[in-house]
Amino acid sequence: MYQSIILGSILLVSLYILKRVRVRNPKLNMPPVPRYKIPIIGHTYSYFFNSEEFFKQCKKEHGDIFSVYVWGQVRTIIGKGYIHEILARDEAFSFGRAFLKRVPYDVLLKNMGIIDPAILLKDYIFCKLSFYSERMQKSLYSATQKHFNIGDQPKVFDNLYHIMTEVISSPIANIFIGEEESKYDEIITAFADFTSGISIFLMVPPFLDFIYPGLHNYAIRVIVKSGLFNPAAKNRDALIKHIKKQVCKRLQEKEKYGNSWKRPDDFLQDILERDGFDANNINYASLSDKIFVFLFASIHTTAGGCANVMMDLASRPQYIQELYEEQLEVHKEADENGILPFEALNNMKKLDSCIRESLRLAGHIVTLEHLTLKDYTFSNGLQVPKDRIINIYTDDVYEDESLQGPNPKSFEPFRHVDANVPASKLGKNYLPFGGGKHACPGRHFAINEIKFFMHNFILNFNFRTKSGKIEERMRVGPLAFPSSNGIIIEKRVK
């Protein structure tokens, strides 16, 4: 009897899913779906375990726009010829809505209220890049000394991404909640732990959608609400503790000094003043969640970028000396405390090129997931329905010689030196920060952090891979993450 019930249930689910895949809206001219052999599973195995060759074959057979059936639902893949339509039509495609299907920020950060993170960061952080330059450098240099504490003998470091989340959390804490708080290990650990926790949501495939579309999103929300896994709740008390300490201190000093009180320059103070600060009604949970909402975007990409640049150079140590000589020349502009003027970033041309090349070859086969907000017709006549997940086929861009130049798959750190394309400059051949009016507003901030960190790191250390070989990215399906393999670091003899 139980076997009959189980088999009957499987049959019903199979029929339901096959119906969803095969039945098309007759009003829409849908992109082609390549044939697959296994019902329910569809293209999932090839998508997850052989994504590079799978997408090449799909593109060869079906052109720039095609759909695949993975994780129990149809997704549409957009090649280089039509990417601009996704990035330019924000009324039809939403990156943020797609992100929320993977990371339930509204449940994780239920106290944050209605805010637009991009506008807040643009208005209060990114417009003050030169102002924060000195604080950024001091925090990065201090964190580097702490986390890359090396004696006279070479030392092996594993999992660079984890280390770099701690390093990058230091300047973020400094700029977000104050110079004093960034010195506490507790707050740095909270920032890094939250960032690492959010990245897990992106790494876990939506396998529950095989059973029913949307079940994965529902399940992770249940898990978050139940407290089984909630990186925000886990670290909220630590953040509130430090925010409360700062707010109380500022209130006391403002009362004591009156008009002569020196206003702190950080994001916390900006938020307090923007929200109409009421000393008798302080919602610390709301303040903490408003800080949390920015952390993943502020730390994850930068930490991953740093880890990838370090591993790319450690895999090819023959390029480090040339970068070292450039950084020696740039460092002549530093003051007596070793702090560079903001303008010195423009003279790190070889380092900037190396960073751009590392970001270009980050390893993602498809990325920049968007959700369609309405039925949409592409310029070639193919159509996609509302609520369809769209992925951009980034490999189609990065393997094109006409867009990248000779040997596009090869890591050539100085490829961009004479091209007048800094690492923060977007283009149809360079998509790590998206594009259009919704391109990442923090890209200049992130690139500056990576350049300041690498400047100091290259001046002080030699480094190479533990294996002595070129280390590739760690792949999870069509997505890529920094290699967790070790690098050997030793102090540079000057």
> What residue numbers does the annotated binding site cover?
440
Question: Could you write out the DSSP letters of every residue in 181-225?
Answer: GGG-HHHHHHHHHHHHHHHHHHHS--GGGGTSTTHHHHHHHHHHH
- What distances in angstroms separate CA 483 from CA 34, 304, 490, one per listed residue? 32, 10, 20
Nearest Cα neighbor of 355 from 410, 435, 414 is: 414
Q: How far apart are CA 447 and CA 87, in angstroms?
A: 21
Q: How far apart are CA 217 and CA 106, in angstroms?
A: 12
Q: How far apart are CA 130 and CA 265, in angstroms?
A: 13
Point out the annotated binding site for heme: 440
- 3-class DSSP assignment, residue 465: strand
CA 34 to centroid of chain Cα atoms? 30
Whether 352 and 451 have beta carbons less than 8 Å apart is answered as: yes
**Could you give phi then psi for residue 57, rounded to 5 degrees?**
-65, -40
Residue with tokens 């159509």: 383
Query: Within a 10 A sphere around the Cβ of 220, how many other Cβ atoms?
Result: 22
Query: Within a 10 A sphere around the Cβ of 151, how many other Cβ atoms?
Result: 8
Q: How far apart are CA 143 and CA 145, in angstroms?
A: 5
- Token pair listed for 164: 């770099």
Residues in the chain: 494
